[in-house]
Every structure is written in C-alpha cells, then in structure tokens.
A and B are shown apart, each in its own frame.
Chain A
C-alpha cells in the first residue's frame, strides 16, 4: 500500500518534468574551416567549401561572413502552480573577414555548442 502511494505521488510529480533540445543550422566542421588559406582563399572558395553564410556584414568596401550552429537545451518541472525552467544556448561560430578584393584576411572560430547543458535553474553551469 505504501509503495503504491509513493509510486502514485512520484508519477504525479514527475509528470510535470520536461527536457527539450533545439538546433539551428548544421554543425561547423573545423577541418573545412582550417582548409581555407588566409591570403589566398576568396569569397567564392569559402562559399564553395562552407555554403551560404548565415549573415554578411558590409564593412566599408570590405565584408565579414558569419557561419553558426546553435544548440539550445531547456529543462524544467512544474509543481502545481510553480514552474522552474532553465535554458542554455551556446553556439559554434565562425567569422570570416574579406578585404576589398574578396580575399580572406582573418578567421575567428569558437566551438561551444557541445558545452550546452541540461540543468536546473539553481545548478552551477560554466
């Protein structure tokens, strides 16, 4: 009888738990980014290798292209009238900077999407 009661209580409480994951775009491949030679690769080479960028920023006569892959993990639970939610969103990002002749001059890459965590709002997350 006690086990049944505990099981019923747990089932009632856990029914308000949830986790979800959302991903935007495709993961960036570091090997493809590394294959682009600074000073010789052109915007056409970059487009052929990485596809269409998520964003193009005009910088005077120069430009910068952004590629990204974003992961969002959400977790939480509801106790009758109180809900606790945690959302963690991190991304792989790559910015490529071109000169006036559309030649690649600088590349900056951050690969943080794998660091996204499921957690409760009070848990420490880096």
Chain B
C-alpha cells in the first residue's frame, strides 16, 4: 500500500516538477605548463600557434593587433523545472539553475610585429572586454523622417 502511494505521488509529480543534473564539456582549457612556457617578449604568434594549436576565438585588440583566446568549459549544474497549471488549457513554468562553472581560459595579446605582449588567464568574457579594441559607436542618421533645411 505504501509503495503504491510513493509510486503514485512520483508519477503525479513528474507532470509538474522535474529535476535535471547536467554536465557540459566544451573544448579544453590549455595546459598550464604549456601556457607558462610562453613568455611575453620572447614568444611570437607562430610559437603560440605551434604550442597550443588553433584558438577558440580571435579578436582585434588595441591598434588592430591580434588577440588569441584559448579556453574550455566544464560545468555541472542542477536544474529544477516547475510547471503549474493556471488556466484550463495552459500552464506557467519557471526553472532555477545553479551554474557552478563558466568558460575560463587564457588570452595572448600581440603587438604589430606579432610578438607576444601580454598573457592573462580568467573568464574569457571579462578578458574580451578588457582587451578588445573599442571602436566609436556609429552615428545613427535616422532622424525620424524629419527633413533638413
């Protein structure tokens, strides 16, 4: 009787509450020992490509010089999905996610002669903001249809 009750509750609950444990693996972080061997001032772009292969991203740094980003993601998270009927023919739902890891990596900033200037590790999103070239915002010439004299 008790078992039947547990099974019934579980089956009923499955329609409105569910749990999910998910692991995501995206690419791989470069090995620290290899990164440590790439020193600013004595390493060039060719050395970095030979040691670490293709970066996961490349962007334009200060003065148009290249910035190479290497990194990967290893995340494990629990998701809880709750769905509550609110009208006869519909339902409302929300979810709570606890992300325990974010994309981390290392960026390599080069000068105009492709010599390594800076090496930084951390969250790639933050590093991109710090080392990406800032261009002036474009001027929006939409004047709402007004005619200039």
Interface residues in chain A, defined as those with a beta carbon under 8 Å from any beta carbon in chain B: 57-62, 64, 66, 80-91, 93-95, 97, 105-110, 112, 121-122, 125-126
Q: With A87-B25, A97-B45 known to touch, is A109 a contact of B18 (CB < 8 Å)?
A: no
Residues of B within 8 A of A61 (CB): 64
A61 to B66, CA, bound (A): 11
Residues of B within 8 A of A126 (CB): 28
Give chain B nearest CB distance to A77 CB in angstroms. 11
Give chain A nearest CB distance to B110 CB in angstroms. 9
Q: List 27 contacting pairs A-B, 8 Å CB cutoff, sorted by A.
A: A57-B60, A59-B65, A60-B112, A64-B66, A66-B54, A80-B11, A80-B14, A81-B19, A83-B18, A83-B20, A84-B21, A85-B22, A86-B23, A87-B25, A88-B25, A90-B25, A90-B27, A90-B28, A93-B54, A95-B49, A95-B55, A97-B66, A106-B45, A106-B46, A108-B55, A121-B23, A121-B76
Closest to A73 in B: B25
State whether B14 touches A85 (Cβ < 8 A). no
Q: With A85-B23, A86-B23, A106-B114 known to touch, is A58 a contact of B60 (CB < 8 Å)?
A: yes
A107 to B58, CA, bound (A): 13
Using a Cβ–Cβ cut-off of 8 Å, how many residues does chain B contribute to the interface with A?
36
State whether A81 touches B18 (Cβ < 8 A). yes
Residues of B within 8 A of A81 (CB): 10, 13-14, 17-19
Give chain A nearest CB distance to B56 CB in angstroms. 7
A84 to B52, CA, bound (A): 33
A93 to B53, CA, bound (A): 9
Interface residues in chain B, defined as those with a beta carbon under 8 Å from any beta carbon in chain A: 10-11, 13-14, 17-28, 45-46, 48-49, 52-56, 58-60, 63-66, 68, 76, 112, 114
State whether A94 touches B54 (Cβ < 8 A). yes
A107 to B109, CA, bound (A): 17
Residues of B within 8 A of A105 (CB): 114
Give chain A nearest CB distance to B114 CB in angstroms. 7
Residues of B within 8 A of A106 (CB): 45-46, 49, 114
Give chain B nearest CB distance to A22 CB in angstroms. 13
State whether B49 touches A107 (Cβ < 8 A). yes
Q: With A87-B25, A93-B56, A109-B53 known to touch, is A60 a contact of B17 (CB < 8 Å)?
A: no
State whether B63 touches A60 (Cβ < 8 A). yes
State whether B18 touches A82 (Cβ < 8 A). yes
State whether A87 touches B22 (Cβ < 8 A). yes
